[in-house]
């Protein structure tokens, strides 16, 4: 059975993955034929599958996902504004992906995580590596059209919006993870000192 804190964190991942899937799915639907249309479609379905991994993981651990109203992605878009062109779309995507990987890496530092969580985390992180890679390649292929300087400046702008949103929202995630690490480390110390 998950405690309140763990359930919140896993539900937060599930909600974020759903928001990601909806965001990328809408984009994939609106794209012209080509490699970006293809990769964005695969990307969108990966995020949808991730939402299912978390749902199934929570279920296996004997709980039900909490309905969280706001996801990081929703907040982020209102802070950064909707992307104006394909290059901006990819820049935003890269910032999302970096944030997601950062959160999952932080999670993997919790000692003695349940095997169910570890399994979901492992599968997802593998996909996330490809997400980062295809977007990086696609952005590089746009340097001829947009110029490297503009692409770098756009990434910086969205990165700053991310920091802003993070301070107000995803911070709760980080605090809960740290709490969990402390709690579990404390427990481990108790076991050792016995």
Return residues touching Fe ion (CB under 5 A).
17, 47, 50, 97, 128, 131
**DSSP-assigned letter for residue 110:** S
Instruction: Tell me how far, at minimum, the Cβ of 17 lies from Fe ion, in Å.
Output: 5
Would you state the structure tokens that stand for residue 46, as one six-digit string? Answer: 């990966």
Of 119 and 184, which CB lies nearer to Fe ion in the complex structure? 119
Which lies closer to Fe ion via its Cβ, residue 45 or residue 183? 45
- Give least dist CB 69 to Fe ion, A: 20
Q: What is the closest distance, in whole angstroms, from the C-beta atom of residue 77 to Fe ion in the complex?
A: 16
Q: What would you measure as the largest C-alpha separation in the chain, in angstroms?
A: 65
The rounded distance, in Å, linking the Cα atoms of 57 and 120 is 7
- Residues 21 and 48 sit within 8 Å (Cβ to Cβ): yes
Q: Kindly state the smallest distance separating residue 183's Cβ from Fe ion, in Å.
A: 26
Neighbours of 116 (CB within 10 A): 18
Distances (CA, A) of 23 to 40, 108, 155: 10, 26, 18
Q: How far is the CB of 192 from Fe ion (least distance, A)?
A: 36
Q: Which of 97, 116 has the CB closer to Fe ion?
A: 97
Q: Which is nearer to Fe ion, 73 or 154 (CB)?
A: 73
Torsion of CA 74, 132, 159, 40, to 10 degrees: -40
- 123 or 148: CB nearest Fe ion: 123
Q: State how far Cα 98 lies from the chain centre.
A: 7
């Amino acid at each position: 059975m998950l405690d309140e804190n763990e359930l919140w964190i896993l539900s937060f991942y599930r909600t974020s993955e759903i928001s990601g899937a909806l965001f990328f799915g809408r984009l994939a639907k609106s794209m012209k034929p080509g490699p970006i249309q293809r990769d964005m479609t695969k990307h969108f379905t990966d995020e949808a599958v991730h939402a299912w991994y978390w749902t199934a993981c929570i279920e296996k651990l004997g709980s039900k996902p909490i309905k969280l109203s706001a996801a990081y992605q929703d907040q982020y878009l209102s802070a950064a504004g909707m992307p104006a062109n394909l290059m901006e779309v990819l820049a935003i995507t890269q910032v999302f992906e970096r944030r997601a990987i950062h959160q999952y890496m932080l999670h993997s530092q919790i000692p003695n995580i349940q095997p169910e969580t570890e399994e979901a985390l492992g599968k997802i992180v593998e996909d996330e590596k490809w997400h980062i890679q295809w977007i990086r390649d696609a952005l590089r292929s746009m340097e001829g059209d947009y110029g490297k300087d503009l692409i770098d400046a756009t990434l910086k702008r969205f990165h700053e919006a991310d920091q802003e949103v993070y301070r107000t929202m995803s911070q709760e995630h980080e605090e809960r993870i740290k709490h969990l690490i402390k709690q579990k480390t404390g427990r481990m110390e108790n076991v050792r000192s016995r």
